[in-house]
Structure 1
């Protein structure tokens, strides 16, 4: 996104710079005299600055319904005045048609879609008339060329911004999908916890009320119910721990399924080879942690488009390899706390964790001899 943002910005800003360069070259001929040249230069500076300013604004989203009509009209009037003045000094002032074209481009980029065509048509007609179509002997040349020039300039600027706007919307959609996946997992965990604990808590509450009523009336029964409350509490605590352990230590197959869902929601094509059920049960939580850490690294520290998970169980050697094609060279070196923790956990069972940040991407490999 950062690279595309820079490319888009320099493309539209470069169009404004081109206007300044072309008109400056025309002014360097000296045909506009000592008075006209500085006036035209002032108009060029104003239009170029306004173009850059509003193109930057449009990169936040096309059609923001900008209502600075007076400012836009004033800028367009300056551009048309410069074009008119140039038209009196040259038959067809082609370079100066770029000034109103730049104004039209940044205005339509900040207006809703319904009004853009009207602005382009009216602006192009005004620029054509100001350029001297009625004074020029070459009516066809002075009519067709300005229309083509203005239309091409506006189309080129808007095409760049339209593509950037589409990518921006896709990126926002991916972020929303990632957040939704996290929210769904939290809701699933909350539902599991509620289903398991709800009846225990209700039973404890009822037993507690009954015990309170029996105290002083039937102490033996109250003592029995109090023991049952304690047992219910211990059962609830044990099952809570089981839920949390099941959540944190899901099977390798479950972790891979979750990882594939999250990565695909982020727009990353993911392929899995091998069978997770071949991994011995005691090692599944360990490799599940590897898959979680690898997935987190792909989402946070890469620009991956594709990711591959390969599971291999052969001759007592178990390995899981996660590879993505989006390794970032601008990330600081180092394993980080997540990978350091993985290395320690694998080391306790005689395994190892390796990373490979080669030119074709980033690979995280965990292996253990079972």
Structure 2
């Protein structure tokens, strides 16, 4: 587990854990730069022990507070920003330590790491809307501490030195703040991408479930409609023509057996639609219902990738004709050119009160759209003749 970041932190995969650990340790290990001023003083021969202790305390303060600020910054979605008073007091103390380094050291550059490291942690621990203003304020305060300490400086330096050191510490503060924010921003972007991947996987599962539901709806609706039609016909033939009734009852049993077999195939994902068989079945079923059906076009001209798609449209159109119309004729047309394949069912006997597209057509539209096509169902009025047209088209990919 990454220290400083809670167990609820996003990114549980191995790669995400490694990146999170890298982000954490790269931010924390920068704190080692705070030890340079202590080592610089310890290397001298005339440093009073009290001064060395105070400098070591400033170093420990820098490291501890930076780690705390960074930890809270990485948990930004789970905890509020840190207290402003803590930020202000911590930065004021390390800025004073920086001013002391300017006053006593001939080369105070390493002391600029103290306010810079704390500045990076503070910026991560404030709200995103305040980061720019807080960074600029800390840069100004660090530069002002440098200029305020210059009158107490014992080492000789030119007139340019105060302004150079003030600009240097301001640049350090800005660079460390930008570095820390960029590092955390990169981590946040990776987390968002990882979350997007998870959402995409969930959507893929949802689409597959919808596809399965649409296939099951098409098959069950088609077969149940046929079974109901055959059952009604068998009921009318009993007592009038027993031989025909027995024949219809046998077909009814076969339809039920086929429905069960197709349902099992859909469940196991093995069902492949044969467009020719779908059209033949639709012609037989509509013929049994008294619908004169004419087929135009050759199923062999429909590319194999579109066979199942067009078969689903024919199956849905046949079910809709039986369920929502009093049709006496139907025209089924297949057209294919070099760029587009089309299928169209046109039937009469339309009830204007029941022409709204159902869930079956909505599911077909989604499946056609996945292949770059579209489905349209519309009522066509030509004088006294009113027909319903269900058509679909999809690009041909050879």
Q: Show CA shifts across 1:6-26 (max 9, x none).
A: 43333222211222x312212
- For residues 143 and 67 of structure 1, what CA distance do their matches in structure 2 show? 28
Instruction: Specify the structure having the higher radius of gyration (Cα).
Output: 2
**C-alpha contact 1:24 1:41 (8 A) present in aligned 2:** yes
Cα RMSD between the aligned structures? Answer: 4.1
- Residue from 98, 101, 108 that aligns with 2:113: 98
> Is 1:37 matched up with 2:52?
yes
The CA deviation at 1:179 is 2.3
- Residue from 262, 267, 280 that aligns with 1:244: 267
- Residue from 205, 215, 236 that aligns with 1:182: 205
- Residue from 189, 207, 221 that aligns with 1:166: 189
**How do 1:267-346 residues align onto structure 2 when only pairs under 5 Å count?**
none
* Structure 2 CA distance for partners of 1:88 and 1:144, relative to 1, 3 Å: same
> Is 1:122 matched up with 2:137?
yes
**How do 1:1-370 residues align onto structure 2 when only pairs under 5 Å count?**
1=15, 2-19=17-34, 21-28=35-42, 29=44, 32-59=47-74, 66-90=81-105, 93-133=108-148, 135-136=150-151, 138-198=161-221, 234-245=257-268, 247-248=269-270
Moved more, 118-127 or 72-81: 72-81
The CA deviation at 1:151 is 2.1
* Structure 2 CA distance for partners of 1:180 and 1:163, relative to 1, 3 Å: same
The CA deviation at 1:117 is 1.4
Report how many aligned residue pairs link the two structures: 243
**C-alpha contact 1:93 1:131 (8 A) present in aligned 2:** no
Which ranges of structure 2 fall in alignment gaps of 5 or more residues? Answer: 1-14, 152-158, 233-241, 274-303, 305-398
Q: Show CA shifts across 1:46-77 (max 9, x none).
A: 22122223324434569976243233223223
**C-alpha contact 1:92 1:131 (8 A) present in aligned 2:** no
Q: Show CA shifts across 1:70-114 (max 9, x none).
A: 332232233223223434433663222222211211122233433
* Structure 2 CA distance for partners of 1:67 and 1:49, relative to 1, 3 Å: closer
The CA deviation at 1:200 is 5.3
* Structure 2 CA distance for partners of 1:207 and 1:68, relative to 1, 3 Å: farther
- For residues 3 and 15 of structure 1, what CA distance do their matches in structure 2 show? 18
- For residues 211 and 202 of structure 2, what CA distance do their matches in structure 1 show? 14
**C-alpha contact 1:59 1:165 (8 A) present in aligned 2:** no
**C-alpha contact 1:31 1:89 (8 A) present in aligned 2:** no
SS of the equivalent of 1:111 reads coil
Which ranges of structure 1 fall in alignment gaps of 5 or more residues? Answer: 211-219, 252-276, 278-370
The CA deviation at 1:234 is 4.1
SS of the equivalent of 1:131 reads helix
- For residues 250 and 54 of structure 1, what CA distance do their matches in structure 2 show? 60
Q: Show CA shifts across 1:240-288 (max 9, x none).
A: 112123x25779xxxxxxxxxxxxxxxxxxxxxxxxx9xxxxxxxxxxx
- For residues 250 and 205 of structure 1, what CA distance do their matches in structure 2 show? 25
- For residues 248 and 77 of structure 1, what CA distance do their matches in structure 2 show? 72
* Structure 2 CA distance for partners of 1:238 and 1:250, relative to 1, 3 Å: closer
The CA deviation at 1:41 is 1.4
SS of the equivalent of 2:105 reads coil
The CA deviation at 1:207 is 11
